[in-house]
Structure 1
Amino acid sequence: MLYKIAFEEAFALPTSLAENTPIGFTRADASPEEDLNTNLLDIHGHRLRQMDENGVELMILSLNAAGCQGIADPAKAEALSTAANDYLEGQVAKNPTRFAAFAALSMHDPAQAAAELERCMTQKSGFVGVLLNDFQSSGTDGNTMLFYDDERCDMFWATAERLQAPVYIHPRTPTALIDTEMWKARPWLNLSVLGFASRVSMHLLAIITAGVLDRFPKLKLVVGHMGEHIPFEMYRIDHKLDRDRFPTMRMRRDKLVRDYFGDQVFLTTSGHFSTPALHCSIAEVGAQSVLFSMDYPFESIPNACVWFDSLQMNQHDVVAVGRNNALSLFPRLTQAPHNLQPKSAWKCKVGGLRDGSATYGLYNASFNKRTATK
């Protein structure tokens, strides 16, 4: 598919890479183009060439995790936020038809976070939303965890709603205390295998069940990695959120969690290139709730795109997931300086018999001899 849009794609600030250590692994024998830190720092070189080679029209860039959320000192977190947003605006301005920006915010003070988001969305160019790396570390030892279902965050949510700035909830590492108690003896489970999804899914469900989306009905939330396990658990989540058992739960009594998907909650395919999982997600929350993303440079652009471009799925759903849903979710992408517009399946080269040859069943060129390579 051509003209794909992706938006869980990280960059690093050259001045803060050592402090904001990326969560990833690079093989000792990796080439320069495979090196994680090199790819985090690169925007207009190898990254753009891979986008061209794999039909990706635009990336929304975000500061690598844990970003501002990993800094317990409020002043330092705010300084990183300002520096990252100023730097990213300049990078996007170099090529705004190929890149856009997510604001990086410190969430120590919701009023300050709202003010910085306002600055990015109204005084700066290229910003289309915000990415938060899960909870905000706080406290003198960094073990205090600030979550955004707290009503003191309502001023931030109100600003995000008013500015039409979707909020992407992205994973991060746990605090030192949680790491010691839960993951030290089993570090292989801490990150992408289980820890990321378990922490982010809890946080997202906390925000929903706290009634945040009911108080701010135009607010949009996004999670990656095929929904951080939530689509597979959707029946059990809705079945067990018994309102008589939990009378203080602030979510509307006449709604299920699944009802928010497609209107206010969306998920992406980032780092989760499984066709059965995609079909499960679409079956549970609808194709209008799902968007393509890659998780570069922690994941391979060609790997993500070959998987997506090979999907055996309704061509209109493929193009909705790969492009058009993103334009509905991020209205600023359709405005200057990006000026992207929805495209048809035919324009994106999805579906059709393009080479004009006879077909013997769409999968194999010969009627009686296997020609496919797989």
Structure 2
Amino acid sequence: MSANDPVVDVHAHVLLPALQGVVQAADPEGFAAAADLEARRNGPESQAASGAMIRERFAKLTDLGARLAAMDDAGIDIQVVSPSPSHYYPWADAVLADRIARAASLATAELVAAAPARLLGLGLVPLQHPALLVPALEYAVLELGLAGVEISSSAGDVELSDERLEPFWARAEKLEAVVFLHPFGCTLDERLDRFYLANTVGQPTENAVALSHLIFSGVLDRHPGLRVVAAHGGGYLPGYLGRSDHAWRVRPEAHGCIEPPSSYLRRLWFDSLVHDAAGLRTLVGAAGADRVVLGSDFPFDMGVEDPVALVREAGLGEVAERAILSGSIRSLIPALSPALDRVVSP
């Protein structure tokens, strides 16, 4: 891309080992129970492989120089960095959860401040405690200058359709804050404990369920200015919306949104991380290229080393490619445009 069209990766993570240590010390029993659940959900083979993968990629997750060098190698001008979803800790009580969210947001802001021409950041909010969401969002966006926050697909008894989230959606809309929907774990639990199904099936399932809660409950009707971007291309939902539309037409309990569910894809944003050209073409056909932004899942092994090449392999045409690699981000994060115009590609 030219200097006027910098390539922006919206799906990149930072690991915060010090925060994990704080959480473990603050609630060792809760931390141990969560670790046991994660082990049961993933199974021993996946746990061992994931541990080795994290050790191998630890520098890219924690060291700014290693991150910037990898970005240069991949042709990425700007990363939108979010904490690893392992830092959600959805079991934490209100006091600890608020402390976690603010610490994660602060650490991310400090990383961004070390390379402001190359990085933007997203903070965290304690989704399991709806009353704490607005203050945590305002801290991340208004006090720290982050572009928005990252949330999971659910937390405890809180689904994204939960009425208790209405103040959060309203404030996020007002602030034009990005809400990055990135699941962690899957409630199918031990059914997915082999073959790495916990991730390969679990993550796209969670995305589809969470987005369906948003759509069918009318959240997007009540808050049309929301800037929600779904990781992993929105999971299974964009490729199978005919069934959702049919349910909306024939089932009264599925008629909580004003328009057919498929129409709401053009009110959301999606990252491009669908792993093959056919999947990306399907996503663009369902949502439009102007609603798809580049995503790599840096630096995890379920991401892609060269996300730009994957977009180009889809054969979408120059206009759509330019939208995904650079243009769509301007509508997702309007305040970013001046910064993009100042970026010079490496």
Q: What TM-score, normalized to structure 1?
A: 0.78
Quote the offset at 1:113 in angstroms. 0.9
- Number of residue pairs matched by the alignment: 323
The answer to whether structure 1 residue 158 and structure 2 residue 170 are counterparts is yes
Quote the offset at 1:69 in angstroms. 4.8
The residue identity in structure 2 corresponding to 1:219 is L
Q: Return 5+ residue gaps in structure 2 as ranges.
A: 25-30
The answer to whether structure 1 residue 134 and structure 2 residue 153 are counterparts is yes
Tell me what 1:294 maps to: 296
Answer yes or no: is the 8 Å Cα contact 1:5–1:57 preserved in 2.
Answer: yes
Deviations 1:236-280 (A, max 9, x none): 2212223x522474211xx11221223x2111112x221111111
Tell me what 2:189 maps to: 179
Answer yes or no: is the 8 Å Cα contact 1:69–1:107 preserved in 2.
Answer: no
- Distance in 2, Cα, partners of 1:82 & 1:51: 27
More relative contact order, 1 or 2 (CA 8 Å, 6+ apart): 2
Q: Return 5+ residue gaps in structure 1 as ranges.
A: 138-144, 349-374
The residue identity in structure 2 corresponding to 1:246 is P
- Distance in 1, Cα, partners of 2:321 & 2:288: 12
Identity of aligned residues (%): 23
Pick from 219, 222, 238 the counterpart of residue 212 of structure 1: 219
1:341-356 aligned within 5 A: 341=341
The answer to whether structure 1 residue 90 and structure 2 residue 126 are counterparts is no
Answer yes or no: is the 8 Å Cα contact 1:54–1:301 preserved in 2.
Answer: no
For structure 1, which segment, 84-93 or 307-316, has the greater mean C-alpha deviation from structure 2 after superposition?
A: 307-316
- Distance in 2, Cα, partners of 1:248 & 1:296: 36
- Distance in 2, Cα, partners of 1:283 & 1:274: 14
Answer yes or no: is the 8 Å Cα contact 1:170–1:224 preserved in 2.
Answer: yes
Answer yes or no: is the 8 Å Cα contact 1:5–1:322 preserved in 2.
Answer: yes
The answer to whether structure 1 residue 222 and structure 2 residue 229 are counterparts is yes
The residue identity in structure 1 corresponding to 2:155 is Q
Indicate the SS of the match to 1:302: coil
- Distance in 2, Cα, partners of 1:332 & 1:223: 20
- Distance in 1, Cα, partners of 2:216 & 2:182: 19
Tell me what 2:281 maps to: 279
The alpha-carbon distance between structure 1 residues 28 and 107, as it changes in their structure 2 partners (threshold 3 A), is: closer
Pick from 127, 131, 136 the counterpart of residue 111 of structure 1: 131
- Distance in 2, Cα, partners of 1:56 & 1:171: 24
The answer to whether structure 1 residue 322 and structure 2 residue 334 are counterparts is no
Tell me what 1:140 maps to: none
Quote the offset at 1:27 in angstroms. 5.9
Answer yes or no: is the 8 Å Cα contact 2:102–2:140 preserved in 1.
Answer: no
Quote the offset at 1:331 in angstroms. 1.5
The alpha-carbon distance between structure 1 residues 240 and 109, as it changes in their structure 2 partners (threshold 3 A), is: same
Quote the offset at 1:70 in angstroms. 2.9
Quote the offset at 1:90 in angstroms. 1.3
Tell me what 2:261 maps to: 257
The residue identity in structure 1 corresponding to 2:205 is S
Deviations 1:301-348 (A, max 9, x none): 53333333444331111010111101111123225xxx11399xxx98
Tell me what 2:9 maps to: 6
Deviations 1:21-53 (A, max 9, x none): 899878699799x713333222x1111111112
The residue identity in structure 2 corresponding to 1:12 is L
- Distance in 2, Cα, partners of 1:327 & 1:69: 32
- Distance in 2, Cα, partners of 1:276 & 1:331: 30
- Which structure has the highest helix share of the two? 2
For structure 1, which segment, 87-96 or 308-317, has the greater mean C-alpha deviation from structure 2 after superposition?
A: 308-317
Q: What TM-score, normalized to structure 2?
A: 0.84
Tell me what 2:316 maps to: 313
Pick from 35, 38, 42 the counterpart of residue 59 of structure 2: 38
Indicate the SS of the match to 2:283: helix
